[in-house]
Chain A
Amino acid sequence: MARDPGRRRAFGLAAVCASLAPLIWLLARDGAVPASAPPAPAPGLRFFDPIHVAQPPEVRAEQRRLLQQQVRLTDHTYCSYLQNSQYPHESRPAGHNPDQLYPNRPLLEASPMRVEGGDSDPQVVLQTTQSRVYLAAGETATFSLRARDAHGQAVPLVVTRALAQGMSYGAERAAPRVTLDFADGGAGAWSAALMPDQTPLASFHGTIRTEVRYKAGGRDGFVLFDVLYSPALPASWTGRRSESRDGGSLQFVLGLDVRQPGRYVVSGRVDDAQGRPFALATFNDVLGAGAQQVRLTVFGKLLHDGAPALPLVLRDVDGYLLRENADPDRLLVPRLEGKVLASAAASLDGFSDAEWQSEERSRYLAEYAKDRIAARGRLAQFDPGVPLPASACGPVAGGAAGETTGQR
């Protein structure tokens, strides 16, 4: 029976496609279709090598261990993301950010006394404090130091010289240098304040390094204090502060007069009515010039789950204009220290207890779920009939029968 040539070509094309499909699938399954061909793997056992019945027991044991490891890893990845992404990344429990809650506390450090030549004296411990690492225009940084012996007893210390200089690199013009007057505060503690805008460093933008030389325990030592100074304010707080309920969440709204447009990163701490840290709220978005609003959100479900004593209080807000690919990378907004705004909300009425939903979250959960199913499928295929380990977050989608799937 004669056949239509067009139909033959169509079937031929389909046959070519069909014959290539398994190859395409196999390549894609192991992610082996990069823009450029990956290098040939070294000889030896590979994770996805075909499984042969005749493999020695130790090889099978190692393959089983790796497969089990993948099941645990993919399960942890999926389950932890599912749990932790109930709230948006911009509104997190305080307990997830323990080192971000008191940004205005001084930085305390202790180290063996450092002496010239790169050596140190372990018999003398230098204790230092630094009030700020990042310094906005008009702000002051204070430094202090004292020395202790191995038993915690004071070691007499005298500051012999302290110079603060802007750090410059390569062909950059050398930055000004100023002398800092350290004063003996008693009990062997010395301190000084750096106010760049009161010195020739006022217009310098970058790291100001203060090198302090001192004598303690009969030896000459030195210590370095760095602050990152931004001499110009890219924006100023207008003083307008309010709260709103948006999308079932509480928002603290702060007015910002933006002089330099760009990406602003602002963080605020939220305490409960007893002053206990409850949340860290972050704003990270692009703002145009002019009057703008920075919204710091306490997510509705976070309120329901945490059940804080109300009303909540916003305090200690800091932020900066992020300068992309630039060094220094930021211009600081004046920090708002202490209490900024107390919410009027006295109950949870009107706040949503729904989980955060977003394109990002859906994308991650879909991918992590796929990986989890695939890992379990490989282990099930390797050890048919052996029960799979329980998941940390309930039954795996697709059920036992579906656990052998999972390719892309």
Chain B
Amino acid sequence: MKREAQIALITGSSRGIGKAIAVKLADAGIFTYINYRQNERAAIQALGEIRERGGEGELCPFDVTDLAATKGAIEKIAREKGRLDILVNNAGIVIDGLLVRMKEVDWECLIDTNLKGMLNCCQAASRPMIKQKWGRIVNILSLAGEMGNAGQVAYGATKAAVLGLTKSLARELGSRNICVNAVSPGLIETDMTASLEDEVKGKIRGQIPLGRVGRPEDVAGAVFFLVSPEADYITGQIIRVNGGLYM
């Protein structure tokens, strides 16, 4: 099936999992907007990689925690391209620490980006998707939101909240042929997990049935499936990409 007319926005896609998703979608002929907040250099690199591979895309910097900026950016895409088909809510931050030692500002930041940011993007993208009566939204969750993880109480809470968001939004938008799903990665090799000590990683690896840490491309594959015509009858679901670490 030809997909050349499709337009996608991937939040936080200058590097890591977001970048892998952007590359994967662009490889399939989807016009991909690379969103980032600060790291312009990485975003330019990501776009360069997409173009080198023959894909098409554009940079789309905005801060997902800022509703007005998010709405402005998404309205601009819808105006310029006439539509927005795919939204991948990938932008997220992690601040680890035992709850007793965490500061209020830590969970405020986590909630602002990981939860409010997704609400902002979903609201802004819903408008054009409802109008065109078609859309695919994929939210990136985390193992910590499902299984729980010591040291990630606030982070896990935001990710669990996004699961609730995903299911309710899937119900709200189903009648407009808009599918809302989630992909929940386990331990993936990215900048976000680079700070984990090797000993910790080794311990986790020992519990992964597939015996290895995941790659951003593993997650991108699941996202790609969910936005492809093969997944047209799937909504409100969660796909876990964790090597079997949590089932």
A pairs with B: no
